[in-house]
Amino acid sequence: MKFIGSFKILGDKAIAHRLLIISSWFKGQHIINNFPKNEDVLTTLNSLKSYGLKYKFTNNSLCIDSVKFNFKKGTIDCNDSGTSARLLCGYLAGGNMETKIFGSKSLSERPMDRVVCPLNDFGADIQSAHGLLPLHIKPSLNFNSFEYNLKIPSAQVKACFILYAMFMKGVSTIRGLIHTRDHLENILSYFGYPITFKKNEINIQGVHRIAKNLSVELPGDISSASFIIGGAVLLKGSSITIKNVCFNKYRIGFIEALIDMGANISFKNKKDNYGERVADIIVNYSPELIGTKINSDSIPNLIDEIPILCIVASYAKGKTVINGIDELKIKESNRVEAILNNMERMGGLAKVVGNSLIITPKNKLHNTTINSFNDHRIFMAFYIANLIAGQDFNVKASEGCYKKSFIDFFDILEEIIA
């Protein structure tokens, strides 16, 4: 078995969330091409629909009419999407209408105090269930611009505060750990919203409505592509080209780690696309991989790719050490436990020492029944691991968590497996 072919991948999920929200702010008729119809992004889309946003799909193009979008009292279900919950918390708190936000059991176990507490300090009035969902946003009379030192290197938290700042009179400033994926900043800047940047701060001018029709093509999702890339690196004879993939400098930590390990990866057709850097990624089988060390300050740039990185590391020469793994424990599952569980099932060697995850290669993993823990990235990483093991294995017909982020995962695999 090998991966062969040249293909495109559906649009980047992180950019899609943000662009949907901005499409409601920039009132008009908008078109988003290469739109990913995965469960998380549809959660944001349908939440905005409840406030008057209209839309229709034509194949993979989304047409939006936000002319009648308006904030009102409401209740939204964020299902299992942490991005939806955190971004919409800031946006709806800024809209200053009574709103209740709830979600799935899994989402209700993920921390929201990292956005709720600062927003309340800024002047919002948000009640939470001990820092968790459900949230109750109440109208506030205490709206002011703010200055904040971001203490968590989280793009979701940063975007939440930027969206809130867009409603505040005057200029709000965010400093601190701001050097994470910057899709929202790129979108706003590209389309002319008054947001400016210095080396270590972001300044957002509030109360600046723009009436503009947007037409955008989303670049391919680098996090989804990572599973295919990981498989191509490990499967003998593989050679693939993934076209027009998001190449944001805060999103390519996985690619950089693989190259550091000796992977045969190159790029062509680098260009700017609606404020984002994109490129074609060429990946070939790489038989001489070596272990690597991931420092904790690199984790935000590859946090979603750590499960598939662990699979690749299992076939390298020498240990791979991944430091700073705390954030992995509060994703859709405790991904540290999920990785350890499935690696043990497959005969691999993985252990935690302090705040580090250590992968020790052990010849070849064997097939197993995947325990996804209902986590899309765990499922896809270990599905690829089972493919590489090269024997027949079964996947439960009910296993559909991959649809949360990569709805065409199996379609792409069917296209490239030779």
Spatial separation of the C-alpha atoms in residues 51 and 44, rounded to whole Å: 12
Spatial separation of the C-alpha atoms in residues 387 and 328, rounded to whole Å: 24
Alpha-carbon dihedral of residues 132, 136, 139, 143, nearest 10 degrees? Answer: 0
Task: Kindly give the residue spans of alpha helices, DSSP state H, lying in 57-151.
Answer: 82-95, 113-122
Query: What is the residue type of 34?
Result: N
Spatial separation of the C-alpha atoms in residues 340 and 349, rounded to whole Å: 8
Spatial separation of the C-alpha atoms in residues 210 and 50, rounded to whole Å: 21
DSSP 362: -
Q: Give which of 303, 299, 317 is closest to 359, Cα–Cα.
A: 317
The residues facing 65 across adjacent strands are: 29, 54
Residue 334: CB partners within 8 Å, gap ≥ 6? 328, 373
Annotated catalytic residue within 40, 304, 375, 408: 304
Spatial separation of the C-alpha atoms in residues 192 and 390, rounded to whole Å: 51
Spatial separation of the C-alpha atoms in residues 409 and 231, rounded to whole Å: 13
* Distance (Å) of CA 168 to CA 162, 209, 210, 397: 10, 12, 15, 49
Contact 67, 60 (CB under 8 A): no
The residues facing 56 across adjacent strands are: 63
Contact 209, 28 (CB under 8 A): no
Task: Kindly state the tokens that stand for 404.
Answer: 């949360």
Judge whether 12 counts as a catalytic residue.
Answer: no
Contact 51, 24 (CB under 8 A): yes
Neighbours of 8 (CB within 10 A): 17
| Residue tagged 């290469």 (tokens) | 34
Spatial separation of the C-alpha atoms in residues 109 and 96, rounded to whole Å: 26
Point out the residues that are catalytic: 304
